[in-house]
Structure 1
Amino acid sequence: MAMRKSSKSKTSNNLVITSVAFQDHITRTLLHPNFSFSDPLLRCKRNTPKNPHARGRVENGLQQRQDGGNEREYVLDPAPPPLTLAQKMGLVASPAERLTEDEWMQVKARSVQQGESAQPCAICREEFRLQPQVLLSCSHVFHRACLRAFERFSGRKCCPMCRREQYETRVIHDAARLFRHQCATRIQACWRGYVARRWYRHMRKTVCPKDKDLRRKFFEAKLQELNDSFVRYCHTDTEAFLSDIDRSLSSSRRVFEQLERKSISEPQENDWDRIQSQVIQRGVWDCPICLTALCSLDIPTEADRSSHQQRRRTVLLSCSHLFHQLCLEAFESFAADSRPSCPLCRSAYHKKLI
């Protein structure tokens, strides 16, 4: 009898503990989430905003860029509450553990692979742009404000896409980075288009086209432009235009006068005799070009005529310099000017064979 009584008392005690554990779990999780048997007078402290109009605002992501500028990802869910007595006794399943950083990276990689950030928000059907976005543990992405509104009006924490309950949320900035990249790409495209159009307009004004009709129009436009500028110039100041013409004519006359002064007349026979006497007095009988001996200006004897004919002929210049005829002709053929100058004194000359 004593054994039966002890077993009945143990069973009744277990039933009492089990019922208390269930009541505690129901009270803390369903009816009064903020109530605790350890402190029954504990009141719920809600984070009420100081500004009464702050609840109606929609976050646009600009404040975060102004404050820090760094896009830091963080988990929005608070720390999980302590386990109830029923959960500790194994009567009720314990909540799932929070995702680690590696698991969040896997969820984000799956979301990027599905292109969630590149698509509009599934709740409001608008682009994310710079507005804050949240990533759920089920790899779906929404506006942070849209998800809050959905949870408030639905009355439960359930994913709007896959209906998964008790999910975790994490703030990400993938859509903001994509939007800034798109803006930079559009700005670069506009600038490159402007540069290309400007270069094309300049090319059309300066480069003559290959087509015959287009070439004719090109030169007609150029001629018309010159005529217009000439007419404008004449209409503005005729006296200045005529004075410019007079100055150009006077400068042309001066140039021609200088050319006439530089031109020399052909020497006469007496002049050639005087030049030969200067050569004899100088006594230089080597060609300055090939540096070989020249023939003497004295009249050769009959014994020297045969050897004199075999020598190369000599050319006397009006500047009293002697050269071999072949050497001087080679120098003249390589000269750039139409009228070459003397290789020694750089003066214009007339030549005579001796």
Structure 2
Amino acid sequence: MAMRKGLTFKSSSELVITSVAFQDHITRSLLHPNFSLSDPLLKCKRKAPRNPQARGGRGETCLQTQDGQEEGEYVLDSFSSPLTLAQKLGLVASPAERLTEDEWTQVKGRSVQQGDSAQPCAICREEFCIQPQVLLSCSHVFHKVCLQAFERFSGRKCCPMCRREQYETRVIHDAARLFRHQCATRIQALWRGYAARKWYSHVKKTICPKDKLLRRKFFEAKLQELNDSFVRYCHTDMEAFLSDIDRSLSSSRQVFQQLERKSISEPQENDWERIQSQVIQRGVYDCPICLTALCSLSLPSEAGRSNHQQHRRTVLLSCSHLFHQVCLDALEAFTADSRPSCPLCRSVYHKRLI
């Protein structure tokens, strides 16, 4: 009877120890790390040291940036968690050993091959940019804050993608490098585009195109620029400025007319005969001023003419035009020029009575 009681007491004590071991294991591994049965208000958060050089964890790699700051890749919670009572008694399998540096290199290689850092975060569906990024031992990549929020919400440590439990987490900076590279590429592309547009605009303003329509527009634009600059830098009194231009233009015309008149020599006798033959071939015998008939050139003498015709004698100009002498004298008297021009062709003339 005593022996039976000893066996019963022994088996019940083993059952109690097993129950306590399982409860401790569930509390420490399956529930949230911040949960505590002894004191629910106690929050024991495990924070990794901020100084990468003071962590002492393995698998730590430092990357040098352009501004001299170091970007370190390190494993979060690199220290091994103590075994639970159930694991010590052999009731639950012990956790796997920590990943070595070579194993982390293989995991990161799989992540790079899958292109996880170039894709948005699977939790928040936003780009990584330069925000902190973590790599799990299952080769999946997330935002650090997103993974922490997911662990707090789910109450267990489980990968959001493959549901793997008891994973290791490593802080990486691959997405930040990709983001900086994309930003640099975009800046270079924008700068090249700006330089090309500036070069093209300079060429468009300085080199005349070969197309006829484009060449016309090119010179029109140049002329418009000259006019704008001319008006911009001229005197503010536009009326006085334009009146000065008119006076300069009229004086220039007078000078040119005087030179033209001086250059014209009086026709010789042979020239007058040639001019008269041109008039006969033309066959026009009306005065362009009074629009009445002229005397015939075939009458060499004045015996058969009337008194009215004698007073309206015909004048032959060196430009081969015929007028009444009275009409031409009246026109010359009316004109202010010292040497008037022909009423038809506006050329300086010599005249001869016929």
| TM-score of the two chains, using structure 2 as the length reference | 0.51
Q: How does 1:30-179 map to 2 (within 5 A)?
A: 30-31=26-27, 46-47=44-45, 69-84=69-84, 86-88=86-88, 90-179=90-179
Relative to 1, partners in 2 of residues 1:174 and 1:75: Cα closer, same or farther, differing over 3 Å? Answer: same
Deviation at 1:190, TM superposition (A): 1.5
Distance 2:154 2:39 in 1: 28
After superposition, give the CA deviation of every residue in 1:286-318 in whole Å (9 maximum; x if it has no partner): xxxxxxxxxxxxxxxxxxxxxxxxxxxxxxxxx
**1:31 alignment partner AA:** T
Asked whether the 8 Å contact 2:25–2:86 carries over to 1, the reply is no
Asked whether the 8 Å contact 1:18–1:86 carries over to 2, the reply is no
Deviation at 1:118, TM superposition (A): 0.7
Distance 1:107 1:14 in 2: 48
Asked whether the 8 Å contact 1:108–1:139 carries over to 2, the reply is yes
Asked if residue 213 in structure 1 is aligned to residue 213 in structure 2, the reply is yes
Give the structure 1 partner of residue 193 of structure 2.
193
Give the structure 2 partner of residue 271 of structure 1.
none
Give the structure 2 partner of residue 28 of structure 1.
24
Deviation at 1:210, TM superposition (A): 1.3
Query: Helix, strand or coil: the match of 2:134?
Result: strand
Deviation at 1:30, TM superposition (A): 1.8
Asked whether the 8 Å contact 2:28–2:84 carries over to 1, the reply is no
Relative to 1, partners in 2 of residues 1:89 and 1:29: Cα closer, same or farther, differing over 3 Å? Answer: closer
Q: CA RMSD in A?
A: 4.0
Relative to 1, partners in 2 of residues 1:137 and 1:29: Cα closer, same or farther, differing over 3 Å? Answer: same
Give the structure 1 partner of residue 180 of structure 2.
180
Distance 1:193 1:126 in 2: 29
Query: Helix, strand or coil: the match of 1:46?
Result: coil
Relative to 1, partners in 2 of residues 1:28 and 1:80: Cα closer, same or farther, differing over 3 Å? Answer: farther
Give the structure 1 partner of residue 224 of structure 2.
224
Distance 2:44 2:214 in 1: 79
How many corresponding residue pairs? 214
After superposition, give the CA deviation of every residue in 1:121-150 in whole Å (9 maximum; x if it has no partner): 111111111111111111111111111111
Relative to 1, partners in 2 of residues 1:32 and 1:97: Cα closer, same or farther, differing over 3 Å? Answer: closer
After superposition, give the CA deviation of every residue in 1:62-117 in whole Å (9 maximum; x if it has no partner): xxx9x982110111134223334553454431111111111111111111111111
Q: Unpaired runs of 5+ in structure 1?
A: 35-40, 50-64, 243-354
Asked whether the 8 Å contact 2:25–2:85 carries over to 1, the reply is no
Deviation at 1:21, TM superposition (A): 5.8
Q: Unpaired runs of 5+ in structure 2?
A: 32-37, 48-64, 246-354
Asked whether the 8 Å contact 1:21–1:85 carries over to 2, the reply is no
Distance 2:225 2:85 in 1: 97
Distance 1:200 1:136 in 2: 51
| TM-score of the two chains, using structure 1 as the length reference | 0.51
Asked whether the 8 Å contact 1:73–1:171 carries over to 2, the reply is yes
Give the structure 1 partner of residue 235 of structure 2.
235
**1:138 alignment partner AA:** C
Distance 1:85 1:216 in 2: 95
Query: Helix, strand or coil: the match of 2:135?
Result: strand
Deviation at 1:14, TM superposition (A): 8.8
Query: Helix, strand or coil: the match of 1:235?
Result: coil
After superposition, give the CA deviation of every residue in 1:235-278 in whole Å (9 maximum; x if it has no partner): 3697xx99xxxxxxxxxxxxxxxxxxxxxxxxxxxxxxxxxxxx
Query: Helix, strand or coil: the match of 1:72?
Result: strand
Asked whether the 8 Å contact 1:121–1:127 carries over to 2, the reply is yes
Deviation at 1:225, TM superposition (A): 2.6
After superposition, give the CA deviation of every residue in 1:20-55 in whole Å (9 maximum; x if it has no partner): 763453243223679xxxxxx999772499xxxxxx
* Paired-residue identity, %: 70
